[in-house]
């Protein structure tokens, strides 16, 4: 998995799984643009960029909201301007707002869809003309096992993550002859980011449902992304990979 001379943009890259993905791509030799949302994340992004540079690659931070089309265009063009190209796009930014279907506010349903599903649509829409011109691209969209089997109390999240699979497969078909692959990773429970807000009691109840008996680490998702971004995965597209310790098999 040699990613030397490759360039990547990771949305929501400053924290949790996103940071693990950035580190793995940098370790394999790719230059990395770390997208962060706003000033709240600027410090984390700045620290991460310094860590990434220690791998001997170029790293930059690019601010922007993935739900805002002009922000997204600016993130992509800034990455291309600094690195000279964009080879790898990782749609990792995500949010969840809990609430069972009968109680969830419609505004919250829209918000969750906006970040998790409209976001990847906008970034792909902005990146594809450049990737098509270069006849090369690796897109990895982060979904969730919730998108495969649903999640009680998170209908918007599960719907958005299932949507990411349909969006990715459709786009994969559209660009398959242009040297561009589009794949999906469905993480199970990972010791980072969103799981930090879940009550310990719930996490303890979930652990035995994972055949491996433990939660994963951000780098486990990073390794999957690095493989799909590599030349070794050149014949893999439209695929959905669970990285979940066997939970959703
Ligand atoms: P985090 O909350 O740490 O990461 C999500 C990142 O997305 C944050 O950096 C967040 O910024 C950023 N973000 C949110 N909204 C936007 C936006 N509009 N524009 C740009 N960036 C935004 O959680 P995780 O690391 O856990 O999640 C990463 C991905 O992995 C998500 O897609 C999630 O659904 C998925 N996932 C996570 C699992 C887990 O167990 N942790 C399991 C399955 C899937 P900010 O912090 O400022 O809000």
How many whole angstroms separate alpha carbon 45 and alpha carbon 160? 26
Protein residue closest via CA to atom 19 of ligand 1: 65
Percent share of the chain, pLDDT over 70: 100
Measured between alpha carbons, how far is 234 from 227 in angstroms, rounded to an integer? Answer: 10
| Closest ligand 1 atom to 115 CA | 18
**Dist CA 85 CA 146 (whole Å):** 33
User: For residue 81, how many other CB atoms are within 10 A of its CB?
Assistant: 9
pLDDT of 38: 82
| Degrees, nearest 5: CA angle 155-141-151 | 20
Q: What is the pLDDT of residues 38-66, one digit of tens each?
A: 877 899 999 999 999 999 999 999 999 99
Residue 101 token pair: 């279907």
79: pLDDT strictly greater than 80: yes
Cα(133) to centroid(ligand 1), Å: 30
Q: With CA atoms as reference, report the closest residue to 113 among 202, 241, 104, 183.
A: 104
Residue 4: per-residue pLDDT: 97
Q: For the whole prediction, is pTM greater than 0.95?
A: yes
Tell me how far the alpha carbon of residue 77 lies from the centroid of ligand 1, in angstroms: 22
For the chain, state the CA radius of gyration.
17
Residue 170 sits at the vertex; the CA angle it makes with 168 and 176, to the nearest 5 degrees, is 90
Alpha-carbon span 83 to 58, nearest angstrom: 8
pLDDT, position 197: 87
Q: Atom of ligand 1 at shortest distance to CA of 95?
A: 14
Closest protein CA for atom 6 of ligand 1:
12
pLDDT at 39: 73
Which SS3 state, helix, strand or coil, does residue 60 take?
Answer: strand
Domains of the chain (ranges; CATH) run: 7-242 (3.40.50.720)
**What would the pLDDT profile of 179-200 be if each residue is shown by its tens digit?**
999 999 999 999 999 999 889 9
Phi/psi for 185 (5° steps) reads -115, 130
223: pLDDT confidence band, cut at 50, 70 and 90? very high
- Which residues, in sequence order, are bridge partners of residue 77? none
Between the CA of 143 and the centroid of ligand 1 the distance, in Å, is: 11
Q: Taking residues 219-233, what's their average pLDDT?
A: 98
Q: Round the average pLDDT of the chain to a whole number and report it.
A: 97
pLDDT at 40: 74
Lining ligand 1 with CB less than 6 A are: 11-12, 14-18, 35, 37, 40-41, 65-67, 92-95, 115, 142, 144, 187, 189-190, 192-195
Q: Compare 46 and 1 and report the one with higher pLDDT.
A: 46
- Over residues 219-244, the mean pLDDT reads 98
Rounded CA-CA distance 184/187 in Å is 10
Provide, for the chain, the percentages of residues in helix, strand and coil under a 3-state DSSP scheme, each rounded to the nearest 5: 50, 15, 35
pLDDT, residue 1, reads 82
| Minimum CA distance residue for ligand 1 atom 33 | 94
195 Cα–ligand 1 center, Å: 10
**C-alpha dihedral, 3 to 137 to 171 to 121, nearest 10°:** 80
Would you place residue 175 in the very low, low, confident or very high pLDDT band (cuts 50, 70, 90)? Answer: very high
């Amino acid at each position: 998995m040699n990613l030397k001379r490759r360039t990547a943009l990771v949305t929501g890259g400053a924290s949790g799984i996103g940071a693990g993905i950035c580190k793995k791509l940098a370790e394999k030799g790719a230059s990395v643009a770390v997208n962060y949302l706003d000033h709240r994340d600027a410090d984390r992004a700045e620290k991460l960029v310094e860590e990434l540079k220690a791998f001997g690659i170029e790293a930059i931070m690019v601010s922007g909201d993935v739900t805002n089309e002009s922000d997204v265009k600016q993130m992509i063009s800034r990455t291309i301007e600094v690195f000279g190209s964009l080879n790898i796009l990782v749609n990792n930014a995500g949010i969840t707002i809990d609430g069972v279907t009968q109680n969830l506010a419609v505004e919250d349903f829209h918000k969750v869809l906006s970040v998790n599903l409209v976001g990847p649509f906008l970034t792909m829409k902005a990146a594809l003309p450049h990737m098509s011109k270069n006849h090369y691209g690796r897109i990895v969209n982060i979904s969730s096992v919730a998108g495969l089997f649903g999640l009680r109390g998170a209908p918007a999240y599960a719907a958005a993550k299932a949507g990411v699979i349909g969006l990715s497969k459709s786009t994969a078909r559209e660009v398959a002859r242009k040297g561009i692959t589009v794949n999906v990773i469905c993480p199970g429970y990972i010791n980072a980011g969103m799981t930090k807000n879940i009550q310990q009691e719930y996490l303890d109840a979930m652990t035995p449902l994972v055949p491996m008996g433990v939660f994963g680490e951000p780098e486990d998702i990073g390794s999957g992304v690095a493989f799909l971004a590599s030349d070794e995965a050149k014949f893999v597209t439209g695929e959905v990979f669970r990285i979940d310790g066997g939970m959703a098999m």
